[in-house]
Structure 1
């Protein structure tokens, strides 16, 4: 490969990596509106989270509402709570460049209304605090989940231990969006059915993402000695490398299968997903599992990666996976500022 060709490919690769995170980045720039009003529900201090803010029906509205509030909690989450007999606390794990409130503003109050104990904490800050590194996106307020998957898994594991301790629960049920699906799956594989009842993955990056072939280009550039890993780390943080298909973390997670015996798994995926690709990498394939594709039985549902936690069809599937019994609607998705929106 000539140096000119390599240079061009490197430039294109950097642009494509930037574009891969730009949809999340655009939500956090130029926002100056005041935070939403806190709603009823006292957040217990041991969670380290801030006040509850009102539910929103799309990601952009939640991003705006949470601006100016430190670690806001979704309505219905992070309260002192004792699980009902036969039920587990539900732990919601947000995705990359997101946080607990904007990821789970819609889902948390639904699960609380089902009578569940709901917890949604932030993890994976990458902003030079506590001695860790930082990235361009990680320095933005409200953008969590940017550290390495190993670091994030260790942090989430500590949070789950804390939740189990304070609720007296032996097991938890996990719901994860995007990277959150990765971490929920990794935690369940590590701890098994002794600690986890159900894992629900929403657009989870379960076997790494190809990003439509970008992971192959990343590998080629690394092999050619191009410092693409360092460039990605500087823009996104370590998570930008770890979520790619073929990363060390993903290879370890896949070794021996990603599913743990005795744990029930539900994967909710979309044919419109532009971030967790290909489709099979967001699904389970062994043990006690169910894979759901939003467009099966509802081709008009166009929810893509950023819209899935607010898509009414996704919300119903999550509710039912955790013991609910609600109709699953067929809805359409038309843009980033309306209910069930996506980019």
Structure 2
């Protein structure tokens, strides 16, 4: 007996429903595979910074309106010091509040060179890696633009990307932390330049900086907030961390206080994080009136504030006298700060100096050894 029309209809509907479920599952799987196999995302993942908190490099994160992804760009040596081995010290304190504010947060590792050390290779090559990473972040998050938060050399990498690699079309803002925009005049840098291309490019008279700083400091369509600290023992003069440009596009910040953050501690400093958080959430550059914790702005004689809106940004080549610092009740902690750079002791303790001196001594020893062998051969 053949099935009744009613039974045939039920079987047909059941088969159709099963086929629909199978196709849906296949579609979801294909969609996931497509996202995972995206060349841009795969290339970016290959550059991601290792050993970070769960707030960073979540490739399933999706950008929201007004919450552009934030890309964190490290400095020389790429957080490989002994004090940077805990995940929370590797951008963790900066990333947590940014993620809380609704931003997808990513961090890359770039410029791997001598002895597999990150952040030491040619800056132009590192900028190309940043471009690759940003393209992947955009593809993964669905965003059209990102915001860059860049420490030290990372600011130069970011500026080259914006100016010479078309990065301004993919970037809404750059927040620089202790960036040697006009170079740094330290003995450590002089020694490190013997070994590392990137350090050589950060000397004040380098061809790289001459080219980067030719023309305008700022690029059209990008907002800039540049943060300097008078306690900087790596970027000297510390005002090298500032740029020049219109107030509608640029705000320069100088941390104040009896104990402002040092160069290496800018990533973990509470006041710096507050400045970054506000700059990232702003539609333009950081407001010159902003102070961490709602502290009042210093008076007209203070130098611990960003440049007034109507004033052109000061030349970074002219150091700000520490005697003009805000009082203890002003700015981000208040109090005078001794001008860094007068003593050579501070840079001697850094990894750049230790590695640079060791490499220079080894190089010199090799030359002496070869010279002795040559004389014996003669």
Q: Do Structure 1 and Structure 2 share a fold, with TM-score over 0.5?
A: yes
Aligned to 1:158: 132
Report Cα offsets for 1:25-46 as digits up to 9, x if no partner.
xxxxxxxxxxxxxxxxxxx884
Structure 1: gaps spanning 5 or more residues: 1-43, 52-69, 127-133, 219-227, 334-341
Q: Distance in 2 between matches of 1:244 and 1:93?
A: 20
- Counterpart CA distance in 2 for 1:109 and 1:328 is 20
The answer on 1:200 being equivalent to 2:175 is: yes
* 1:178–1:283 Cα change, 3 Å: same
Work out which of the residue numbers 88, 107, 122 in structure 2 matches 1:120: 107
Q: Are positions 1:48 and 2:22 aligned together?
A: no
> 4+ residue stretches of structure 1 with deviation over 6 A?
none
CA contact (8 A) 2:47 2:109 kept: no
Match of 1:146 in 2: 120
Distance 1:71 1:301, change over 3 A: same
Residues 1:263 and 2:229 are matched in the alignment? no
C-alpha contact (below 8 Å) 1:49/1:73 kept by paired residues: no
State the distance in 1 between where 2:90 and 2:200 align. Answer: 22
Q: Shift in Å at residue 320 of structure 1?
A: 0.6
Measure how far apart 1:269 and its partner are: 0.6
- Deviation of 1:152 after TM superposition, in Å, equals 0.9
* Pairwise CA distance, 1:178: 0.3
SS in 2 for 1:186: helix
How is 1:91-102 mapped onto 2 (pairs within 5 angstroms)?
A: 91-99=71-79, 102=89
Q: Give the number of equivalent residue pairs.
A: 242
Query: Aligned partners of 1:192, 1:48: CA distance in 2, in Å?
Result: 19
* Offset of residue 193 of structure 1: 4.1
How far does residue 267 in structure 1 lie from its aligned partner after superposition? 0.7
* Pair 1:292-2:266 in alignment: no
1:307: which partner in 2? Answer: 265
CA distance in 1, matches of 2:232, 2:267: 12
Secondary structure of 1:273 counterpart: coil
Structure 2 residues without counterparts, runs of 5 or longer: 1-35, 81-86, 283-289, 296-331, 336-348, 351-378
Task: Tell me how far apart the structure 2 counterparts of residues 49 and 113 of structure 1 sit (CA, whole Å).
Answer: 26
Shift of 1:209: 1.6
User: Which TM-score applies when normalising by structure 1?
Assistant: 0.63
Structure 2 CA distance, aligned partners of 1:160 and 1:243? 23
Aligned to 1:252, what secondary structure does the other structure show? helix
Cα distance, 1:211 vs. partner?
Answer: 2.4
Shift of 1:331: 4.8
